[in-house]
Amino acid sequence: MANKKVSYFYAPDASSYQLSETHPMVPERVNMTHELVQNYRMFPHMTIIKPHPATEEQLKRIHLPGYIDYLKKVSPLISNGLVDLYPCLQADDCPTFTGVYDYSASIVGASIACANRINHGRSNICINWAGGMHHAKRRFASGFCYANDIAAAILELLTCHRRVMYVDIDVHHGDGVEEFFYNTNRVMTISFHRHGNGFFPGTGSTAESGVGPGKDYAINVPLHKGITDDQYIFLYKNVLMKAMERFQPEALVMQMGADSVVGDKLGDFNLTNQGHANCLKHALTYNLPTIVLGGGGYSVKNVARTWTLETATILGLELDNKLPANSYFGHLPEDQNLIIPAIKMSNLNSMKEIKAVQNQVYEVLGRTEI
Ligand code: ZLV
Ligand code: CA
Ligand code: ZN
């Protein structure tokens, strides 16, 4: 978007943490993205900002103070046994690791900084690829997410904007963000996700749609494995168009989890990174002040490719499919290209089902009023 003021938030020290030696969530993917964005020469097209970590007070606006105090004190050495006494970190998905508090504060600080810059009108689009931790709950960590930077950013946006729309294209249901705003009509949450057969977190049916004043303002789009670009974009655009028309938000937050791209270790969709980026491109056509966040993504080179392509989409730049020289990708044939093509795999989504989900979502949206 050539005429837009774009800011890119990056904390160099925040992405070198390791949740555990074998954990699928690898924060380093944000550094990989950063290097590709730099080597594709995108830096001159945006303002690069080093954000401050969130303060304890900012973290406690979102989370139970006792949980934040616990995160601050806990270390791998003393966590054994404590996690059972005070089970706010689930040992397997959310292990205790050295620096867990600083890691979380850094991510939340960057997303709050995005919101502040939008609030002051200094940027139209703010990017934080380290953000998007959509599962974290008020009282505990969940699904690799310790602190909910998205809820913190939305809360900040709500001080200057009447209505905020949240769109989540991570392959998992955005349950944490949904829960934070489940009973308000000032935030509409929309999550597209794989659903059924025990896929994590298990919530996110179309019937789950909000409570009290928030009834009908939580939108869920459950899907099955193998969905293609054509099907996804058809449904995504229709849902977004209708939701924009009904809700008329004043600001937009996009969670761009790259685990919905083909080849992900945990996801099982068949979306190309161009299809994924087209979702962002479409969202930007509404010309709203927008925060763009990361999220899941477990085939790390694909995550870096996807978010690099999406940074270019935001800037309105065309990139050469040949990746520039960098320190992460090697000389193997599969390491040469930016674009990730679809594969041959079974698709459990029929067009009939996609249209049925669309109609269910339209019904919920049809009951909203502004
Ligand atoms: O991408 O996990 O299925 C945003 C995000 O949306 C589960 N967790 C939970 C429920 C009980 N379990 C299993 C515990 C397993 C712990 C370790 C893994 C280790 C290796 C490979 C895969 C997993 C794993 N864990 C796959 N799916 C899970 C989910 C959590 C998914 C979080 C997605 C986070 C950042
Ligand atoms: Ca999602
Ligand atoms: Zn995910």
Rounded Cα gap, residues 121 and 351, in angstroms: 42
What is the token pair recorded at 251? 């600001």
Q: What is the average per-residue pLDDT within 140-145?
A: 95
CB atoms within 10 A of CB 327: 9
Q: What is the pLDDT of residue 140?
A: 93
Query: Structure tokens of 82?
Result: 């404590």
Please tell me the predicted confidence (pLDDT) of residue 13: 84
Closest Cα to atom 33 of ligand 1: 143
Q: Please name the residue whose Cα sits nearest to atom 21 of ligand 1.
A: 24
Q: What is the atom index within ligand 1 of the atom nearest the CA of 145?
A: 35
Nearest one of 28, 31, 271 to 170, comparing CA atoms:
271
Give the span between the Cα atoms of 155 and 211, in whole angstroms. Answer: 19
Q: HSE on the CB side for 258, CA within 13 Å?
A: 31
Model's pTM, two decimal places? 0.97
Does the pLDDT at position 81 exceed 80? no
Phi-psi region of 251 (alpha: psi -120 to 50; beta: other; left: phi over 0): beta
- For ligand 2, the distance from its centroid to the CA atom of residue 204, given in whole angstroms, is 9
> Which residue owns the Cα nearest ligand 1 atom 12?
93
pLDDT band at residue 85 under the 50/70/90 scheme: low
Q: How far is the CA of 177 from the centre of ligand 2 (A)?
A: 10
Give the DSSP letter of residue 54: P
Amino acid 79: pLDDT: 59
pLDDT in tens, 107-133: 999 999 999 999 999 999 999 999 999
Is the N-terminal amide bond of 213 cis, ω within 30° of 0? no
Torsion from C-alpha of 329, 333, 336, 339, nearest 10 degrees: -110
253: β partners: 166, 291
208: closest CA among 197, 226, 193?
193
Determine contact, residues 59/46, Cβ cutoff 8 Å.
no
> What pLDDT sits at residue 76?
75
In this structure, which residue's CA is closest to atom 32 in ligand 1?
A: 143
End-to-end CA distance of the chain: 29
pLDDT over threshold 70, residue 279? yes
212-239 average pLDDT score: 98
Question: Taking CB atoms and a 6 Å cutoff, what residues make up the pocket around ligand 1?
Answer: 24, 92-93, 134-135, 143-145, 170, 172, 200, 257, 259, 266, 295-296
**Protein residue whose Cα sits closest to atom 1 of ligand 1:** 296
pLDDT, position 74: 83
Mean pLDDT of 176-188: 98
Q: Are 118 and 126 in contact (CB under 8 A)?
A: yes
Tell me the Cα Rg of the chain: 19
User: Could you tell me which of 277, 223, 226, 283 has the C-alpha nearest to residue 249?
Assistant: 283
Nearest-atom index, ligand 1, CA of 200:
3
Q: Which amino acid would we find at residue 139?
A: R
Predicted confidence (pLDDT) at residue 84 exceeds the cutoff of 60: no
Nearest to 270, CA basis, from 319, 343, 197, 201: 343
- β-pair type (218-223, 6-9): unpaired
The runs of H, that is alpha helices, within the chain are 28-39, 56-62, 65-73, 76-79, 82-85, 100-119, 149-157, 175-180, 229-247, 273-284, 300-315, 351-366
135 is catalytic: yes
Distance (Å, rounded) from C-alpha 166 to C-alpha 198? 25
- pLDDT of 270 reads 98
- CA 311 to mean position of chain CA atoms: 14
Task: Please say whether the beta carbons of 357 and 328 come within 8 A.
Answer: no
pLDDT at site 86: 59
Ligand 1 pocket test, candidate residues 92, 94, 306, most atoms within 8 A of CB: 92
**Residues 306-343 pLDDT 10s:** 999 999 999 999 999 999 999 999 999 999 999 999 99
pLDDT at 163: 98
Quick one: average pLDDT of 215-239? 98
Asked if the ipTM is above 0.85, the reply is yes
Rounded mean pLDDT, 86-93: 70
Element (DSSP H or E) covering residue 128: strand 125-128
CA geometry: angle 186, 58, 150, nearest 5 deg = 45
Query: Is residue 146 very low, low, confident or very high in pLDDT (cuts 50, 70, 90)?
Result: very high
Contact criterion met (CB below 8 Å) for 11 and 110: yes
CA of 178 relative to ligand 3 center, distance in Å = 15
Residue 178 has pLDDT above 60, yes or no: yes
Q: How many CA atoms lie within 13 A of 342 on its CB side?
A: 17
Please tell me which residue in 34, 134, 135, 224 is annotated as part of the active site. Answer: 135
